């Protein structure tokens, strides 16, 4: 083994306890306690969901910014977006502006929630000399097909009297025509990449309303009405723009925002972890490393469906690098992960404790686990 070992540290955030960068720092601290000569290459990761903006900003030495926008119910919220290192790529999560967590349980109603704030967040990105916007679309409170988003960017969705429709999924049925002539001209030169990990179509039994509507507060009656409204919306888009987005895989993501981003902004849908891998620059770092450490709060049989540890491990195996996962909880049926690139999984939980205690001690526990793994590695040097 080489005298100076290189380890790529590429965890996701540990939900409610550490950001991905804080996890990298804790890992490095534990490693350096045992061997100062090990080079730690920190690449904070995400899978396109919560934490993607911060992870990509941290991984590239970019800048995290905030702006006031209208939340899902039209009340002001403080939303964040990022400019990656180099200044040419912006990143945002629609949940920061139009997310379910911004609406109390009692107020959740996808009939009236809107993606208008997401459009405002996109517009904020245009103040910078960017060439591309990366958009994570998980965690939405909306079911408006991106209607609010395009309105905020200058589009007009008009009823039979030529008036702009009201905001919210229930009003899509009132649209008679679409006018994009006043959409922000800066967008025509901007590439839109959308992190999307679902393949649901816009409507039907597997569509946006049926599958995701109930968790946003929709009753069975609302689901039917929202589905019909999105169907009408899709038909008007096809008639006005010549784009049939109704059956496209991923169009139903985020209450149809996937459809709106494709139809109105030419958005390209990609699996979230693939997008983060591409724009974090992690592949070049893995090529020259001796091993890779990854992790997140919990790992189980669902991890193979596009979660960060799986994506990182798959990439590392491309270059035949060993992969260790450092996690909070180890769930069921993780054996399949050993067949998909992860060589060993360690839990940083040291004994019986409450969830609150586990969160509070997470950084120290991860540091201690990293120290112990490094001691083991040094045995074989």
* DSSP line for 153-176: TT-EEE-TTSPBPPSSGGGGGG--
Q: Which residues pair with 323 in a beta bridge?
A: 292
197 and 326 within one domain = no
143 and 255 within one domain = yes
206 and 166 within one domain = yes
Kindly state whether residue 308 falls inside one of the protein's structural domains.
Answer: yes
Taking the model in full, what pTM does it have?
Answer: 0.91
User: Distance (Å, rounded) from C-alpha 241 to C-alpha 243?
Assistant: 5
Kindly state whether residue 277 falls inside one of the protein's structural domains.
Answer: no
334 and 255 within one domain = no
- 108 φ, ψ (degrees, to nearest 5): -70, 125
Kindly state whether residue 279 falls inside one of the protein's structural domains.
Answer: no
What residues in the chain have per-residue pLDDT under 50? 1
88 and 123 within one domain = yes
Taking the CB of residue 144, how many other CB atoms lie within 10 A of it? 37
Q: Specify the pLDDT at position 317.
A: 96
Q: What is the number of structural domains in the chain?
A: 2
Q: Specify the pLDDT at position 38.
A: 96
What count of Cα atoms within 13 Å lies in the side-chain half-sphere of residue 189? 8
Burial 285-308 (b: 16+ CB within 10 A, else e): bbeebbbbbbbbbbbbeebbebbb
* Strand pairing category for 6-9 and 291-294: parallel
* Strand pairing category for 156-158 and 177-179: antiparallel
For residue 35, the enclosing domain spans 6-43+284-379
By the 8 A CB rule, do 59 and 280 touch? yes
By the 8 A CB rule, do 38 and 32 touch? yes
State the DSSP H helix or E strand holding residue 327, giving kind and residue range, or none if neither. Answer: strand 323-327
104 and 31 within one domain = no
228 and 319 within one domain = no
Q: Specify the pLDDT at position 3.
A: 61
Q: Specify the pLDDT at position 77.
A: 98
């Amino acid at each position: 083994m080489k005298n100076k070992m290189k380890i790529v540290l590429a965890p996701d955030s540990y939900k409610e306890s550490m950001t991905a960068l804080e996890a990298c720092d804790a890992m490095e601290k534990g490693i350096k306690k045992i061997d100062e000569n090990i080079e730690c290459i920190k690449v904070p990761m995400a899978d396109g969901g919560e934490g993607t903006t911060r992870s990509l900003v941290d991984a590239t030495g970019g800048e995290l910014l905030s702006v006031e926008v209208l939340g899902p119910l039209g009340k002001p919220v403080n939303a964040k977006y990022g400019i990656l290192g180099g200044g040419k790529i912006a990143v945002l999560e629609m949940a920061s502006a139009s997310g379910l967590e911004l609406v109390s349980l009692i107020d959740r109603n996808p009939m009236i929630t809107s993606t208008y704030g997401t459009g405002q967040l996109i517009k904020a990105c245009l103040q910078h000399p960017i060439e591309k916007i990366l958009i994570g679309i998980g965690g939405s409170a909306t079911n408006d097909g991106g209607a609010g988003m395009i309105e905020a960017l200058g589009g007009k969705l008009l009823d039979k009297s030529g008036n702009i429709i009201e905001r919210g999924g229930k009003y899509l049925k009132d649209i008679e025509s679409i006018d994009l002539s006043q959409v922000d001209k800066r967008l025509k030169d901007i590439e839109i990449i959308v992190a999307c990990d679902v393949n649901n179509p816009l409507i039907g039994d597997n569509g946006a309303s049926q599958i995701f509507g109930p968790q946003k507060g929709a009753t069975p009656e609302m689901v039917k009405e929202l589905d019909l409204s999105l169907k009408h919306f899709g038909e008007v888009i096809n008639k006005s723009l010549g784009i049939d987005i109704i059956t496209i895989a991923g169009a139903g993501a985020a209450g149809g925002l996937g459809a709106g981003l494709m139809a109105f902004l030419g958005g390209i849908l990609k699996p979230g972890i693939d997008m983060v891998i591409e724009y974090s620059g992690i592949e070049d770092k893995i090529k020259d490393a001796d091993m890779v450490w990854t992790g997140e709060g919990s790992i189980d049989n669902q991890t193979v469906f596009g979660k960060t540890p799986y994506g990182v491990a798959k990439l590392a195996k491309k270059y035949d690098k060993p992969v260790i996962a450092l996690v909070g909880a180890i769930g069921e049926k993780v054996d399949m992960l050993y067949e998909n690139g992860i060589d060993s999984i360690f839990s940083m939980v040291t004994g019986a404790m409450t969830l609150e205690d586990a969160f509070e001690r997470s950084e120290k526990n991860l540091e201690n686990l990293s120290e112990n793994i490094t001691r083991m590695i040094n045995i074989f040097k």
